[in-house]
Amino acid sequence: MLIPEEGGVAVSNVALTAILIANMIFAVIVVFIERKRPVDALAWLLLFSFLPVLGFVIYLFFGPRFWTKRKFRLKKVDDQRLQQLIDSQHQELAWMQARAPDEAADYLALARMNLVQAAAPIALGNQMTFFTHGDEKFAQLLADIEKAEKFIHIEYFIFRDDAIGRRLVAALTNRAAAGVEVRLIIDDWGCKLTSDALFNPLRQAGGKVYRFLPVTLSFAFNVNYRNHRKIVVIDGHIGYVGGMNVGDEYLGMDSQRSPWRDTHLRIVGPAVSSLETRFLLDYVFVSGEDVELGERYLPSEVPWSGQSPIQIVSSGPDSKEQHVKQGFLKMINSAHETIYIQTPYLVPDDSLLEALKIAAFSGVDVRIMIPGKPDKRFVYNVTKYYAGELLQAGIRIFLYDGFLHSKTISVDGRFLSVGTANMDVRSFMLNFEVNAFIFDADAASEHDHIFQRDLANCREFTLEEYRKRGLWRKFIEGVCRLFAPLL
């Protein structure tokens, strides 16, 4: 039946009024209840204005943070235990100072901040191996899994049902059938295309598999919070952390973006206990199990395997502070000579942007390597925008001829961080991340050697090239940059 013209007008007016009221309600939530940063609030208000209906839906899925404290009730370190942890670290801090007295001020300031703010203990006596290609990393990982005797704990953002994914499941299934405890956490959003059937053999052999924050109709809002961590702990003394997920592309099998370049660490020594602690906290959260901590998982004495002091620092929407980002800022602010950064996405917030500029203005040689072949065009437009802004401050930008997925930062060839956090606002604010902060000049020098080797596979992105881009490219980058806080 046709609606009379007057009725149609009335319906339109009601709809318009409802939209305006909804706009006001969401504006109040963004500005007064959630108290987002001004730049974030303006981005959301702009989205509401341009997309008054769709913007509400997008906000419901990607914007609200006021329920995260209740959602993410992960186990915390109370004030008394934190003070006990700090008091117990005098020996470690003294050892670091004695080992590198000329660098102690920078070392200790960063170590103390991570200790106090992130409850990250300093673990001495670690041995590390860098992996820059998936073939090497997975060959070693599979060999370590084959030798496991007590337990294997694994946590990945992406776990694909492809050749390497099936090989890894088969290896885990074999160990589970032999009586080894196997626990696996995968991120539900990162594994949205991975069927649970892949893990049926592992479950049937006694392994346990959980999805982190399942995105279902009942929990649709989980889509914005992603467990981006990549952790493996084997028998409490071997650990893995870094940028590589489980997928054939990490073995160079992505023809569109090849070569695929990443960085991953294998750690042997006391720092593995910190990786295990991080895994167990996440496991208790997703499984609801009451896991008894003790010598089996967290032995009181772990023999030294090397000389590297390491702190394992975690951050996420369950944290009051952005611990990994704060560690990056402290490193950048302490630089005197060089800062080398590798990141697939360059979307810094204001604090990081200014820190990098100030370092360059102070004469520090700042070099940032980003992909030459992107995987996310929208984010790459934002990356290019910020690359141009940093070029104008004298920072050198290099485009890797392939897809660079490595997440590293090294300062003055003295200390570095390797982990899962990208140099972007999503990693700092919304993702669950974990990074190793390494206080070892030998390890930093090895990283810098790898960085210099990668430069041979790069071309420099110059300020002249940036200024020559066309009006349409400038427009696209500018529009995408407006929504950077929403990424």
Of 309, 286, 293, the residue nearest 432 (C-alpha):
286
Do residues 433 and 314 touch, judged by C-beta distance below 8 A? yes
- Partners of 187 in beta bridges: 212
- Whether residue 440 contacts residue 307, with contact meaning beta carbons closer than 8 Å, is answered with yes
Burial (CB count within 10 angstroms: exposed 0-12, middle 13-18, buried 19+), residue 166: middle
Q: Do 345 and 422 touch, CB atoms closer than 8 A?
A: yes
Q: Which of 153, 384, 405, 447 is catalytic?
A: 405
Omega before 52 cis (within 30°)?
A: no
Q: Could you say which of 187, 407, 447, 454 is catalytic? A: 407
Q: Are 151 and 181 in contact (CB under 8 A)?
A: yes
Residues 6+ apart with CB under 8 A from 222: 188, 189, 213, 214, 215
CB 274 within 8 Å of CB 304: no
Q: 458-461 and 181-187: which strand pairing?
A: unpaired
Nearest to residue 374, comparing CAs of 339, 350, 399? 399
- CA distance linking residue 222 with residue 227, whole number of Å: 11
230 has catalytic annotation: yes
* Residues in a beta bridge with 231: 155, 241
Are the CB atoms for 324 and 425 separated by under 8 Å?
A: no
**Does 235 participate in catalysis according to the annotation?**
yes
Residue 365 a catalytic site member: no
Show Cβ contacts of residue 41 under 8 Å, excluding neighbours closer than 6 positions: 30, 31
412 is catalytic: yes
Helices (H) and strands (E) in the chain, counts: 18, 19
Of 188, 412, 440, 448, the catalytic one is: 412
Provide the token pair at 247: 């997928």
Q: Kindly name the residue from 144, 187, 188, 235 that is annotated as catalytic.
A: 235
Catalytic hit among 36, 137, 153, 230 = 230
Catalytic residue among 153, 228, 323, 330: 228
Q: Is 71 a catalytic residue?
A: no
Q: Is 228 a catalytic residue?
A: yes
Q: What angle do CA 292, 296, 300 make, to 5 degrees?
A: 105
The gap from C-alpha 464 to its chain's centroid, in whole angstroms, comes to 32
Tell me the β-bridge partners of 311. Answer: 437
Catalytic positions: 228, 230, 235, 405, 407, 412
